[in-house]
Amino acid sequence: MQENRIAPPVRIQGNFLAIGERRLLNWLCARMPAWVKPDLLTALGMVGAVLIFAGYATSLLDEDWLWLCMPGYLLHWFGDSMDGSLARFRHIERPRYGYFLDHSCDGIATFLILLGIGVSPYVRLEVSLIAMVGYLLLCIHAFLAVRVLGELRLSYLNAGPTELRLILISLTFAMLILGDKQRDMEAMTVFDWFVGGVGVILIGVFVVQTARSVRRLALIDPAK
């Protein structure tokens, strides 16, 4: 019985760090021990997400716990970026399984990271949820585009997951440096405005990209 294979979508990746990151990932893939499998890397990325959540959540007790987020972001980047890269490098892709597992873990990781930021003493939970909604809306757009356009968009506004991680790392350093000045204020803090602003931008990008995709699909699939 012939295996029913699916054609991989066209990957669209135009983020600033894409070329340098791809070179680094290829270098790492060529040196990865044979016992390291993509599923192990996926699990490692989830461990990183848990560490990030723990770092933000425990900063309620002491701001020094924010340092736990730093290795968490590194592990999350390594696992999330390397699992698919290693599978493609070794030609052991599992298109349906990998696509489903990877994006399911991405959703859980995003939830953990932004929930952690929201329960920290630096950002209001409702503000963090705005950023979560914006990010997940863009994920929905990317998933729909795979189905109707055959394209997997990995970046928007020349930024992808790696750039977002660097922004969040910078935000975490700012919390460590400026946190005591912002922590107990009843008014909106600079961290609230920043995270909320990023969320609004992500929602705006979703609206624009949806409109563009609808126009493309109207030409591909005209009314009868």
When divided into structural domains, the chain yields a total of 1
pLDDT of residue 114: 94
Which whole-number Å values give the CA distances from 20 to 27, 68, 72, 75, 132, in the listed order? 11, 26, 22, 18, 28
pLDDT of residue 47: 96
- Within-domain flag for 5: no
- Within-domain flag for 1: no
Query: Which residue in 81, 69, 147 sits closest to 113, CA to CA?
Result: 69
Which CATH number goes with the domain that contains 145?
1.20.120.1760
Q: What is the pLDDT of residues 197-218, one digit of tens each?
A: 999 999 999 999 899 888 988 8
**Residue 155: domain span:** 10-220
- Within-domain flag for 152: yes
- Within-domain flag for 120: yes
What lies within 8 Å, CB to CB, of 179 at 6+ separation is 59, 63, 66, 121, 122
Task: Give residue 155's pLDDT band: very low, low, confident or very high (50, 70, 90).
Answer: low
- Within-domain flag for 4: no
- Within-domain flag for 140: yes
pLDDT of residue 11: 67
- Within-domain flag for 208: yes
Q: What is the pLDDT of residues 98-152, one digit of tens each?
A: 889 988 998 899 999 999 999 998 999 999 999 999 989 988 888 888 888 877 7
- Three-class secondary structure of residue 153 per DSSP: strand
Query: Taking a C-beta distance cutoff of 8 angstroms, is the pair 13, 155 a contact?
Result: yes
- Within-domain flag for 3: no
**Whole-angstrom distance, CA of residue 113 vs CA of residue 161:** 13
Q: What is the pLDDT of residues 87-97, one digit of tens each?
A: 989 999 888 89
Identify any residues that bridge with 10 across adjacent strands, giving them in sequence order.
151
More confident residue, 46 or 93: 46
0.75 exceeded by pTM: yes
